[in-house]
């Protein structure tokens, strides 16, 4: 593709596809800029410094009424509040400004990072002012160009490609930030025009990563500007770090986006997997890497649940278990109990069993038959079927007896499950999977409570003190890492000793219920 142009427009749109009126795309923010480039025969081309002719960035009042759900989605993705949308310029006013600038400056091409998304919005703006007239400017996709010139890049999202060139865009999806990032991508792709760079992530790091030690520790990934991207822990730094560069992130879009940006690696060896886990957590809390989303410092409260209802318990007057960081699994279990007793479930059937109510019939027959199978398998008494706590207790018992613990409960519909109908067996297996997750969380909370206030010694090194109690998600995250370190050391046959708050000690190799709970051998 030819990049040597006299006048170029760069555009980014933020919008929702097919919301409001069915089949109608809704635009709620747009940014465009028109810039000059220099071009010499056989020479290089690039944006002229200070040659910006125009920069327009505006929120757009939606052309149709957005539902509360979509308004929340806009605010979450872009940070644009409903009031800001309501007070924004009208769609037709923005269309008039956009068309006026195209006709005034006559750009040769419009460059967009993902033109397939933006094209309908731009055509819609043009049609508003110039109905029936063809759109006058060809649109070029920098994403397609990146695929052509960087064929081995892990991801071609705007954040990944701009980060590859050392200038990632903001976390929030704002049109102005994305337009600037598209400019960065345009410049970067022009600079590598004709070069041998193939976009292989970590190509220049090969010698360093192959020489990493086979020891416990933490690793840190940095981008081209030295900005930290990610902190991780490993029982073997050599194996773990190299796994990222050998296809280990293929199924994870977020990690693929991250690996497209990695230009530098730093490691820190640790005395044991336990200490590596704690070093990882403390680094995440201190530096807040953007790709460590699961363990960021969070001072929100951990949840304690009433045993019978599995609802958050505030008063402390009833038997409770916990702490847990998320309530999603327990919402599923409460809904299963409601369905078994004929009550209205907390979650919709579509959310619990996607596609069950589609096609012929309502799915009611399959649902009732599947619940009947589950009641028989878990031996749920008729008088207890309404109790979420009873369902969880039976699932915990099944996991302790290894009835569910070691079994991979698959959907019999296989990989095409989204296209095949539900039957009673599918419903039953779906219920078992949900209950198995609940049981796993139960045993994890038992491990956390056992470890509270304990002193942990790993491979003869300095001891680590577990938090005396869990009141916040931050403390729960720290405890989870101590547990992961204990279990990693156990798997590596390293010596581990835990002195409980009661004064009793647990060591690797010991038998007994408490040691099995702590080492994750139950559940």
| Higher local confidence (pLDDT), 168 or 437 | 437
The per-residue pLDDT for 179 is 92
**Structural domains in the chain (count):** 4
Range of the domain at 165: 7-191
For residue 400, the model assigns a pLDDT of 82
Domain-embedded: residue 439: no
- Would you state the pLDDT for residue 501? 84
The predicted model gives 16-23 an average pLDDT of 58
Confidence of residue 40 (pLDDT cuts 50, 70, 90): very low
Low-confidence winner among 7-11, 320-324, 415-419, 436-440 (lowest mean pLDDT)? 415-419
Same domain, yes or no, for 229 and 140?
no
The residue with tokens 């690793």 is 219
Question: What pLDDT does residue 274 have?
Answer: 76
Give residue 173's pLDDT. 82
**383 and 234, same structural domain?**
no
Give the model confidence (pLDDT) of 244-271 as tens digits. Answer: 887 766 667 788 888 888 889 999 998 8
- Decide if pLDDT at 197 tops 80: no
CA 165/CA 261 separation, integer angstroms? 8
Q: Are the CB atoms for 231 and 292 separated by under 8 Å?
A: yes
Q: Residue 42's pLDDT is what?
A: 33
Across the range 399-419, mean pLDDT stands at 62
Q: How far is CA 247 from CA 137, 213, 332, in A?
A: 40, 20, 34
More confident site: 371 or 46: 371
Give the model's pLDDT for residue 144.
Answer: 93
Q: How confident is the model at residue 99 (pLDDT cuts 50, 70, 90)?
A: very high
Q: What is the pLDDT of residue 199?
A: 53
The answer to whether residue 316 is domain-embedded is yes
Same domain for 428 and 465, yes or no, is no
Quick one: DSSP state of residue 415?
Answer: G
Q: What local confidence, expressed as pLDDT, does residue 407 receive? A: 60
Q: Are residues 494 and 423 in the same domain?
A: no
> Considering only CA atoms, which of 152, 184, 153 is closest in space to residue 169?
184
247 and 141 in a common domain: no
Identify whether 325 is part of a domain: yes
Cβ neighbours of 53 (radius 10 Å): 14
| pLDDT above 90: residue 391 | yes
Residue ending a domain, choose from 226, 259, 287: 287
CATH number assigned to the domain comprising residue 98 = 3.30.420.10
- Whether residues 341 and 457 share a domain: the answer is no
Q: What distances in angstroms separate CA 470 from CA 57, 193, 225, 307, 402, one per listed residue?
A: 46, 56, 38, 18, 29
Across all residues in the chain, what is the average pLDDT?
A: 81
pLDDT of residue 2: 43
Q: What percent of the chain has pLDDT over 90?
A: 29
Among the candidates 397, 432, 467, a domain finishes at 432
Within a domain: 292: no
pLDDT (0 to 100) of residue 149? 87
High-pLDDT (> 70) share of the chain, %: 82
Per-residue pLDDT reduced to its tens digit, 132-144: 999 999 999 999 9
Q: Are residues 376 and 465 in the same domain?
A: no
Q: Please check whether residue 297 lies inside any domain of the structure.
A: no
């Amino acid at each position: 593709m030819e990049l040597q142009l006299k006048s170029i427009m760069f555009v980014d749109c933020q919008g929702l596809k097919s919301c409001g009126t069915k089949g109608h795309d809704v635009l709620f923010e747009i940014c465009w800029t028109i810039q000059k480039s220099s071009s010499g025969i056989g020479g290089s081309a690039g944006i002229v410094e200070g040659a910006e002719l125009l920069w327009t960035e505006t929120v757009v009042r939606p052309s149709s009424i957005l539902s509360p759900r979509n308004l929340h989605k806009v605010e979450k993705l872009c940070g644009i509040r409903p009031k800001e949308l309501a007070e924004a310029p009208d769609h037709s006013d923005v269309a008039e400004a956009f068309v006026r600038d195209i006709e005034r400056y006559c750009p040769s091409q419009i460059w967009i990072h993902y033109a397939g998304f933006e094209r309908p919005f731009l055509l819609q703006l043009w049609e508003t002012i110039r109905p029936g007239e063809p759109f006058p400017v060809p649109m070029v996709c920098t994403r397609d160009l990146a695929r052509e010139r960087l064929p081995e890049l892990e991801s071609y999202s705007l954040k990944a490609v701009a980060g590859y060139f050392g200038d990632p865009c903001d976390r929030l999806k704002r049109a102005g930030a994305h337009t600037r990032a598209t400019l960065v991508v345009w410049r970067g792709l022009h600079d590598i025009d004709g070069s041998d760079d193939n976009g292989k992530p970590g190509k220049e790091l090969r010698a360093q990563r192959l020489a990493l030690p086979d020891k416990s520790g933490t690793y840190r990934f940095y981008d081209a500007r030295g900005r930290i991207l990610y902190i991780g822990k490993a029982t073997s730094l050599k194996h773990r770090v190299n796994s990222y560069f050998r296809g280990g992130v293929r199924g994870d879009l977020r990690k693929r986006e991250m690996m497209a940006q990695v230009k530098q690696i730093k490691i820190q060896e640790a005395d044991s997997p336990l200490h590596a886990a704690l070093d990882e957590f403390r680094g995440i809390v201190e530096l807040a890497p953007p790709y460590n989303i699961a363990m960021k410092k969070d001072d929100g409260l951990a949840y304690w649940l009433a045993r019978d209802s599995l609802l958050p318990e505030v008063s402390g007057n009833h038997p409770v278990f916990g702490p847990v960081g998320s309530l999603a699994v327990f919402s599923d279990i409460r809904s299963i109990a409601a369905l078994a007793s004929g009550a209205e479930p907390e979650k919709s059937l579509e959310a619990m069993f996607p596609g069950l109510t589609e096609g012929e019939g309502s799915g009611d027959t399959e649902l009732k038959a599947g619940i009947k199978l589950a009641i028989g398998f878990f031996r749920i008494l008729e008088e207890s079927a309404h109790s979420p706590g009873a369902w969880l207790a039976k699932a915990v018992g099944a996991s302790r007896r290894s009835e569910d613990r070691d079994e991979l409960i698959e959907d019999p519909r296989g990989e095409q499950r989204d296209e095949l109908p539900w039957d009673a067996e599918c419903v039953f297996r779906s219920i078992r999977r949900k209950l198995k997750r609940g049981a796993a969380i139960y045993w994890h909370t038992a491990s956390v409570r056992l470890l509270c206030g304990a002193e942990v010694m790993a491979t003869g090194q300095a001891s680590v003190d577990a938090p005396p109690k869990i009141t916040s998600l931050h403390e729960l995250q720290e405890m989870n890492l101590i547990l992961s370190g204990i279990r990693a050391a156990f798997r590596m046959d390293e010596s581990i000793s835990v002195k409980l708050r009661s004064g009793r000690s647990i060591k690797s190799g010991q038998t007994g219920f408490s040691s099995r709970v702590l080492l994750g051998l139950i559940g």
